[in-house]
Amino acid sequence: MPELPEVEMFKRYLDSTSLHQRISGLEVRDAYVLKRVSARELARRLKGRRFENSHRHGKHLFVRAGDDPPSPRLRRASLWLRLHFGMTGSLEYIDHDEVLPKAARVVFRFADNCRLAFDDQRKFGEIELIGDVDEFLQTRGLGPDALEISLCHFKAIVGKHRGAVKAILLNQQLIAGIGNLYTDEILFRARVHPATEAARLSDKDLRRLFRATRYVLERAIALKTDFNRLPKSWLLPCRGKRGRCPRCTRALQSATIGGRTSWFCAHCQKRI
């Protein structure tokens, strides 16, 4: 399931392949992923524009669709394409003679006949047109991005909410971008048991948790979210049945916390 690091990779991929080209048309192969916009409306509003830049917030990717050619005089209302990758979403840029991926739901065609496909096997992804990113974030009540948040803000959010620390890190309304897998990694690195009541974390614990959040997300991006390249000291490659703690080699345990299956080492991650 794409979390912040994966969506950041999609952003970079889109930036390196699909910006500044005239959108000559688009094909909606499955309208299920469209939110609050019809296939016809999506095509009508995007045709003739070009993707200018993109912005990621948490697990959402926003792509600005500007005029083509750029026209400072003829200012149309700003338009953003919002992409959410659900459970299996991804992007694929293909040449005109290449075959589309099987699960391509929406395909954007550029003037040179290259295409950008929004691929999503399980169809939990979302595509929407919005006028203003900040307004969207506010309406959705999304918290600050997990890589943008300051230590001070992080401490205020995590330390002041009741409940298991894992549930708080997963709550997109509090901090946006972290999902089930990376939360487990962050808590493992910070040596905090996922069920720890957040209010019991000391100032030092919160600082360690903040540093672990930054480190894990940034490192995952630097490794291009390739799970085969993750350091041996990480929990993720060991996560699962018969998995052993990479630190103390004891058997890992699992429990449902915050509604999700959590893996942790009960020895290294003491409940505070």
Q: Is the CB of 9 or the CB of 186 nearer to Zn ion?
A: 186
Supply 93's token pair: 């840029």
# residues near Zn ion by CB under 5 A: 6
Q: Which of 91, 117, 245, 257 binds Zn ion (CB under 5 A)?
A: 245
Say how many Å lie between the first and final Cα of the chain, rounded.
29
Task: CB nearer to Zn ion: give 129 or 266.
Answer: 266
CA distance readout (Å), 222 to 41, 135, 172, 214:
38, 31, 23, 12
By beta-carbon proximity to Zn ion, the closer residue of 77 and 248 is 248
Quote the tokens at residue 71: 């026209």
Look-up: residue for tokens 């979390």? Answer: 3
Q: Is 265 in the site for Zn ion (CB under 5 A)?
A: yes
Closer residue to Zn ion (CB): 137 or 268 = 268
Closest CA to 160 of 212, 209, 206: 206
* Residue 65 main-chain phi, psi, to 5 deg: -105, 110
**In the bound complex, what is the minimum distance in angstroms from residue 248's beta carbon to Zn ion?**
3
232 is a site residue for Zn ion (CB under 5 A): no
Give the nearest distance from C-beta 183 to Zn ion in angstroms: 17
Q: How far is the CB of 42 from Zn ion (least distance, A)?
A: 49
The one-letter code for the residue type at 199 is A
248 forms part of the interface with Zn ion (CB under 5 A): yes
Positions in the binding site for Zn ion (CB under 5 A): 245, 247-248, 265, 267-268
